[in-house]
Each structure stands twice: as structure tokens, then as C-alpha cells.
Amino acid sequence: MKHNQMPPGSYGLPILGETLAFLFDKNFIEKRYRRYGSIFKTHLIGRPTVVMVGSKAVEFVLSSHMENFSWREGWPDTFKALLGESLFLQDGEEHRRNRRLMMPALHGPALTNYVSTMEEITRKYLQKWEAKQEFTWFDEFKQLTFDIASQLLLGASPGEDCAILSKLFTTLTNGLITINPLPLPFTKYGKAIAARNQILERLTQIVRQRQQNPSKDALSLLIQAKDEDGNSLSEKELIAQAVLLLFAGHETTTSMLTWLCLELARHPKVYQRAREEQLQLASQGDLTLEQLGQMPYLEQILLEVERCHQPVNGGFRGVIKDFEFNGFHVPAGWQLLYSILMTHRLEEIYLEPERFDPDRFSPQRQEHKKYPFSLIGFGGGPRVCIGIAFAKMEMKIIAAHLLRSYHWEILPNQSLDALLVPTNRPQDGLRVKFQPL
Ligand code: HEM
């Protein structure tokens, strides 16, 4: 009966559509999901858009019908200009080749080599925080994760250059989603374009240095990587992928680490249990790769932080082939948004979804295993986040050190409300009092 029927929903205002509500109303998707269900239409960033919510819908987009969708056609033009010809915006054969070339730099033995550097940089920051005693964790994590990303992904040495690059990336990120994509010197987008140009200049120098003196960093591995026909990435491709890895590699991790520390401070029993797990391991010796695999409770906590505070709220796609879902028809040419945020809050998947409860991931409960594609903070399917193992290892190392030796309290007079754009964070960045134990 519903054949060829368009999904329910409203396009909003002419031209603007519902973009303003989408950017500024935190409950934009929830309100429409409650009214229309797991597929509805709207109009965002200049295009008719279908929003899809829930495990079945997400499996459809990320896996079973992924050939109907394009990444390149999905993300707003600002992304294309700012993130260039990188994996994030590639499709088909080009994407497959590049992903295969990039995988070894972020998995397996390469990752094992990264542990000691991650620890070394973390220790430096712990000392700095001990001396400072009070600070804003979002800002500090941003520097820490950027230092880790630039050393391990680019082979850059820490110092002033890293700090400048980190600031340039913040400016770039602020221009990704904007209602005013005019490249003027005073708009966020204009500033982001200028930052990108400076980033490209610096990365060109770094790529050239690394071509001459390869080391153990991801960029050196990428320079040496060859596809089945013996071809490697061109200099232009290498630079584009390096920009993407640095961008994707630190903003998201910063967001999750900040929320992790906030939830640990808010839930003393969770903090205590996680600390006991760490002290038990610490009694057997210093942190090792093997120990990183023996922290089931910390893993549960990280899954719950991923669920409650997804750093990425959803993913855009371009519809390149008409499709039907739940009896509704969506034509090619539309934009699609799958919602990570709302899928993580569905009562049909998670018991009391608003509650922070790491035990929902205990071996007995495993709420995310009831349906596939229920926990999708890193996306899913063949194009799941390529940095998932890198990010999880980094977060565990930092969390393990914090839990073994430190305690922190949330300072008064600050807003802890979630700010979702450009990256999910507590509004004032989480100001804390930090003490060794
Ligand atoms: C907590 C940390 C992270 C989170 C939550 C996260 C989240 C995500 C998500 C949700 C996607 C899929 C987006 C979509 O379906 O549209 C994705 C893709 C991607 N991520 Fe991550 N990410 C994290 C860390 C990293 C790191 C450390 C790197 C690199 C070192 C990275 C590189 C990428 C890349 C290159 C893609 C595109 C993969 C492809 O299309 O084949 N991410 N990430």
C-alpha cells in the first residue's frame, strides 16, 4: 500500500530547510523520531534529506545496502574543500585501494610499536597536570592526543610546530559544519580554508622529509605501502591522507576522554571498581601490551562512554540509487543521515538508556549484542572507523595511568551540558582539581 510513498516529515523553510533547528536544537532528531519513527524526511544544508535511526536502519545503510550510498556525495561541500581527496570522501575502487594501503599503519604490529610512545607522552602530561593542579581537561586532552597523533602518525617531534599545527586543526574543524559557507576572511569557513592552506604547507615539508628518512610512524609506512599492482600513493594522496588522519585522530579521542573523566568523577563506585582492576594489574608490574587485554571493566566503561557521549553524532551519505525502507521510497540525489546519537538511546535496545551504566555491557547482559549495529560510535560494516584500534589503545593507556595514580574532582561554577557541534564536549570543557593519590 505504501509503495512509492515518501517518508513522513517536513522540509521546513524555503532554502534553509530545517538546518537551523538541526544545528541548534539538541533534540532535533529525537523529536522527529518520536513522531515519525525510524525513517523521516527533512531538508538540511540545501538538500532534501532522509534521516534513519535504529539498528535495522543502520545495518541497511552501513552494510546490507551500502552500494546505494556514496560518502563523497553525502558530506557537505565544506568537508570536500577542507578534507580534500582523502579516504573519508572516496568511494568504490579508489576507496578500496586506499583503505587497504592504510590499514597496516593502524593495525597489528604497527600498533604494538606505538604503545611505548603513547605511554611516554602520557607520562609527560601527567606530570604537567600534577604541577598545574587545576585545568580544563578538554583543552589538555586536545594537546595530548594531538602530540600522540603527530608523533605516531607523522613522526613529528613534539614542540612549537606541533602546537601551531594543533591550533590550525581546531580552526579547520570549526569550519566543517556551518550555515555560512562563504570563504571570506572573517567567516569560520574562510578561516578554516586559510588554516587548511597552512596545514598543507607544513605537511608537504613533513612528507618530503619522511620520504627521505622513513621511520616507524604511520606516514612512513604509508609512503612504503604498495598495492597489488606495485603502485604506491602519490605525494598529493599522501598529504591528503595525512591531513585526514590527524584530523580524525585527535578531535574524537579528545571528546571521549573528556566524557570518560567526567563520568568517572560523577560515579565514585565506577571509579573505585575501575581503580581496583588497575591496582590488581599494577601489582603484577608496569603496563604492558598484554595487560591492555586484561581490563574488562575499563572496556565496559569505555563502551558506555561511547554509547552515552558519541563523539560523532551521525554519518552523511549521498543516495546514488533509489531505495525502499520500511515501505518508504527514497529517490537518488537525496542526502541521507544515519543517527548514531539516537540509535544509542533507543529503549528497544538499551534498558533505561539515559542512565550511565557500564554493567549493561557485562558478559551477562551484553545489551548491544541483541541486534547487530546497536553500538555504532565508530560507525560499522566494511567502512568502520579505520582508527578504532589505535583510539581504543590510546584511551586505555591514558585511563589506566589516571586510575592507577590519580584522583580528580569537578570544579564548581561550570556548565557540564553537552555541546554537540563541532565535537561533542561538556560546554565549559570540564575544569577539574587534579591530585596524585
Ligand atoms: C574515539 C575515537 C574515534 C571515534 C569515535 C571515531 C568515529 C568514527 C566514525 C563514526 C566513523 C564513520 C563515519 C561514517 O560512517 O560516516 C569513522 C571513520 C573514520 N575514522 Fe574514526 N573515530 C575515532 C578515531 C579515529 C582515529 C584515531 C583515526 C585515525 C588515526 C580515525 C580515522 C578515521 C577514518 C580515516 C575514517 C574513514 C574510514 C573509511 O571511510 O574507510 N578515527 N570514525
Across 379-389, average pLDDT = 97
**Any ligand 1 atom below 6 A from CB of 107:** no
Across 201-206, average pLDDT = 92
> Which residue has the least CA distance to atom 1 on ligand 1?
253
Give, as one character, the DSSP assignment of residue 206.
H
Q: What percent of the chain has pLDDT over 70?
A: 99
**Any ligand 1 atom below 6 A from CB of 9:** no
Report the separation in Å between the CA atom of 314 and the middle of ligand 1, taken as the mean of its atom positions. 11
Residue 57, domain extent: 19-436
Has residue 6 been placed in a domain? no
pLDDT range class, residue 180, cuts 50, 70, 90: confident
Ligand 1 atom having least distance to the Cα of 99: 41
> Residue 2: pLDDT above 60?
no
**Any ligand 1 atom below 6 A from CB of 254:** no
> Residue 22: pLDDT above 80?
yes
What's the rounded Cα separation, in Å, for the pair 406 and 126?
Answer: 9
> Residue 1: pLDDT above 60?
no
Has residue 7 been placed in a domain? no
CA–CA–CA angle 118, 121, 125 (5° rounding): 130
> Which residue has the least CA distance to atom 3 on ligand 1?
252
Report the separation in Å between the CA atom of 192 and the middle of ligand 1, taken as the mean of its atom positions. 20
In the block, residue with C-alpha cell 594543533: 166
**Any ligand 1 atom below 6 A from CB of 375:** no
Has residue 331 been placed in a domain? yes
CA 409 to centroid of chain Cα atoms: 26
pLDDT for res 223 = 92
pLDDT for res 3 = 62
Across 390-418, average pLDDT = 97
In the block, residue with C-alpha cell 539498528: 55
pLDDT for res 379 = 98
Higher pLDDT pick, 176 / 433? 433
**Any ligand 1 atom below 6 A from CB of 337:** no
Render 97-156 in DSSP notation, one character per residue: HHHHHHGGGGSHHHHHHHHHHHHHHHHHHHHHHHHH-EEEHHHHHHHHHHHHHIIIII-P
**What residues pair up with 407 in beta bridges, in sequence order?**
435
**Any ligand 1 atom below 6 A from CB of 238:** no
> Which residue has the least CA distance to atom 20 on ligand 1?
385
Has residue 9 been placed in a domain? no
List the one residue out of 331, 376, 407, 318 whose CA is nearest residue 55: 376
What's the rounded Cα separation, in Å, for the pair 427 and 113?
Answer: 35
320: domain CATH number is 1.10.630.10
**Any ligand 1 atom below 6 A from CB of 312:** yes
How many domains, the chain?
1
Has residue 383 been placed in a domain? yes
Ligand 1 atom having least distance to the Cα of 90: 40
**Any ligand 1 atom below 6 A from CB of 79:** no
Across 251-261, average pLDDT = 96
List pLDDT tens digits, range 93-122.
999 999 999 999 999 999 999 999 999 999
> Which residue has the least CA distance to atom 21 on ligand 1?
385
Report the separation in Å between the CA atom of 385 and the middle of ligand 1, taken as the mean of its atom positions. 4
List the one residue out of 107, 148, 66, 137 whose CA is nearest residue 336: 66
Report the separation in Å between the CA atom of 149 and the middle of ligand 1, taken as the mean of its atom positions. 14
What's the rounded Cα separation, in Å, for the pair 335 and 341?
Answer: 18
Has residue 64 been placed in a domain? yes
Has residue 2 been placed in a domain? no
What's the rounded Cα separation, in Å, for the pair 62 and 384?
Answer: 8
pLDDT for res 268 = 98
Has residue 3 been placed in a domain? no
- What does pLDDT average to over the chain? 93
Report the separation in Å between the CA atom of 166 and the middle of ligand 1, taken as the mean of its atom positions. 18
